[in-house]
A and B are shown apart, each in its own frame.
Chain A
Amino acid sequence: MTTPDYRLSQLETLEAESIHVIREVVAELERPVLLFSGGKDSIVMLELARKAFAPARIPFPVMHVDTGLNFPEVLEFRDRRVAELGVNLVVASVPEAIAAGTVKEEPNGSRNRIQTPVLLDAVEKHGFTALFGGARRDEDKARAKERVFSFRDEFGQWDPKSQRPELWDLYNGRIHLGESIRVFPLSNWTELDIWQYIARENIAIPALYLAQEREVVERQGMLYAVNEFIRPRDGEEVRRETVRYRTVGDANLTAAVPSHATTVEEVIAEIAVTRMTERGATRGDDKVSDAAMEDRKKEGYF
């Protein structure tokens, strides 16, 4: 894997940087937790955490903010992976919070916003001081400006105007009681890097990411596969198309893209020639406004 001139490839460099970040958090912060949704980025992040501490077990639990709007394949994947690694899983449940009246369902059916208070409640309940998230800076312009160690006040809020300077690889994880750090080990990875790493390391992913024929409806210029949460509406025509998911979010709002990619290598080829951003192509919830992500982050979202 090494070259005679002692240069690492881009994947090896990113891998080393992420492992450094993950170890630094465990060395400096009391109670870390890793946000694990079963999506490709958090799968890669979890794999990097495994490598960071091998042959020991990952020394922190993982948490899933469960909106109750899951693709069943992803939930199965989550449970299988957690069992394989022997890590504890904490589930912060949005449906339970709705039932208990701590949050209210939004009229558009998106639980993207209301998962934030559920996340923050779980953080407080378990006393987590550091939360690993799989966000990448290439995803969105708000994320492009966020630190690897992103300081959050006692309300979990991000203040883009007073971020701590972050120099070299000297991360500052110091916090007062009630405050926390969001940590983004994949900050410098791109979508293509993630897929190349999945291919190179032969990492298992939910089958949703690969193309298969599904029943779909077209809605607002996007293709939604018919499932438990997406039922054809009046006037919508159900047709069969070969599609895959480029991102995996809530099952009621994540669109699929037409695709013939049935292997990870084919996914890489497809992304390499694709001309749409992954969020732009697949996320109904990011279309609300130009600054949707910025606003959510300020409220404590990842």
Chain B
Amino acid sequence: MAAIEDAVDLRSAAAEQAHDLAVARKDILRIATAGSVDDGKSTLIGRLLYDSKAVFEDQYEAVERASAGGDYVNLALLTDGLRAEREQGITIDVAYRYFSTPRRTFILADTPGHVQYTRNMVTGASTADLAIVLVDARKGMVEQSRRHAFLASLLRVPHLVVAVNKMDLVDWSEETYEAIRDEFTSFAAKLNVADLTVIPISALHGDNVVTRSARSPWYDGPSLLHHIEHVHVASDRNLVDTRFPVQYVIRPQSDEFHDYRGYAGTVSSGVLRPGDEVQVLPSGLTTTIAAIDGPRGPIDEAFAPMSVTVRLADDLDVSRGDLICRPTNAPHVTQDVDALVCWMTDEPLRPRQRLAVKHTTRTVRAMVKELQYRLDVNTLHRDASADHLGLNDIGRVRLRTTQPLFVDDYARNRVTGRFILIDEATNSTVGAGMLIPGS
């Protein structure tokens, strides 16, 4: 049994410094990691958590006890999952982990490599700013690495990092690193990967994870942690196309706020300011923004991903599922949706199937009009003869919806270009869609 810890000396320099670092203004970087246990992914995550001091003593002691007898403390055990998983020797699902440095806080979606890889990777990558794909230096780029890089690019994760792990097992060979780097770079060029960084590491020993290692004098790039701390993400967002899906209508119906009528929602993209001329879809009516209320009262401007309440100058009929935009820059209003769909359930997707589509705050019914092709995620080959999409398949699908949707291409707008598919009989989420330009 652990002894009771002494009270922290709050007058110590350490406490003062810890406080100042804790309250320093940071932003959030969302990361998805992909790779299998064999690639050393759990060791890498354990290393990041441990070296950034996100691991507490009681957690570390448990891991230390479990690693007794080995040469190293097995940091991979820090990411140990559920008993249900240990019993079956599998990793079930995406796990979320948290750590921070003085500059940033990180939300890491740890996605298992083997079972349900597509579904899990797509889930983890959907919100990610950056994806880390692990490659074993001894094996080089394998099918799974290509698949992970492809899925990250499909989800338009803006930054991709390839961590070439186990460099210690190839004697820190510069040639090995360069061969993997060059192969990945030419593959990534086919995938719309805007920003690729390839880092040689040893997760087990910590080389190039937090600090640059003396074992790779030929490598002049950043350590992994330095890279994710400094990667420039401000320009990843769309600040041009104003899109505000109405989520909920706020009407206090109290004496004090008798005439208050506010449209609550989360800004998808662009910037909204009081006085802006706006258009409401589907009605097409125009008005101006009278005021914007944030969590602490009226604000001068709102941008993604702020949750705000917009008040309009005119009394229009606006409800959940409507969208506020600028009259000069509106999304496509359409009932025909072309999209790449990732299918996530055993029962296959087939033409003529009926599904519910949830797109921003709007849910409509849809029919699968056409399955144009199924994509082989390993070769990128398009199979136009496919007549269904099975579990974890990705294909190009055309949907016809009962009501119009207000959409942009996913490549331009990750918020108004995405949707989920719901089976109305089981209520399960069965697919994820990303809009692409129609043919």
Residues of A within 8 A of B (CB): 1-2, 5-10, 12-17, 19-20, 23-24, 26-27, 51-57, 137-138, 141-142, 144-145, 160-161, 163-170, 172, 174-176, 187-188, 190, 192-193, 196, 199, 211, 218, 220-223, 242, 257-261, 265-266, 268-277, 280-281, 290-291, 294
A23, A165, A221: the one within 8 Å of B264 (CB): A23
State in angstroms the CA–CA spacing of A53 and B15 once bound together: 38
State in angstroms the CA–CA spacing of A13 and B361 once bound together: 19
Determine whether the beta carbon of A274 is less than 8 Å from that of B27. no
Q: A9-B25, A23-B265, A258-B4 are in contact. List 19 more A-B contacts (CB 8 A).
A: A6-B237, A10-B100, A16-B306, A24-B361, A27-B320, A145-B82, A164-B428, A170-B418, A172-B422, A172-B429, A188-B98, A218-B4, A221-B3, A260-B8, A270-B10, A270-B15, A272-B21, A274-B56, A276-B57
Decide: A190 near B94, CB < 8 A? Known: A16-B306, A172-B429.
no
Shortest beta-carbon distance from A246 to chain B in Å: 11
Task: Tell me if B252 counts as interface (CB < 8 A to partner A).
Answer: yes
State in angstroms the CA–CA spacing of A144 and B84 once bound together: 14
Chain B residue nearest to A170 in the complex (CB): B420
A9, A23, A272, A277: the one within 8 Å of B18 (CB): A272
Determine whether the beta carbon of B422 is less than 8 Å from that of A56. no
Decide: A164 near B22, CB < 8 A? Known: A258-B5, A270-B10.
no
Residues of A within 8 A of B428 (CB): 164, 172
Determine whether the beta carbon of A220 is less than 8 Å from that of B1. yes
B59, B92, B294: the one within 8 Å of A277 (CB): B59
The listed residue with most B CB atoms (<10 A of its CB), out of A1, A221, A272, is: A272
Residues of B within 8 A of A (CB): 1-10, 14-16, 18-19, 21-23, 25-28, 56-59, 80-84, 92-98, 100, 104-105, 107, 119, 122-123, 126-127, 234, 237, 239, 247-248, 250-254, 256-257, 260, 264-266, 271, 293-296, 299, 301, 303, 305-307, 320, 344, 356, 358-359, 361, 414-415, 418-420, 422, 427-429, 432
Residues of A within 8 A of B25 (CB): 9
State in angstroms the CA–CA spacing of A185 and B359 once bound together: 20
The listed residue with most A CB atoms (<10 A of its CB), out of B100, B271, B420, is: B420
B105, B250, B418, B419: the one within 8 Å of A53 (CB): B250
Shortest beta-carbon distance from B166 to chain A in Å: 26
State in angstroms the CA–CA spacing of A123 and B425 once bound together: 24
Decide: A141 near B95, CB < 8 A? Known: A13-B27, A23-B247, A165-B432.
yes
Residues of A within 8 A of B80 (CB): 141
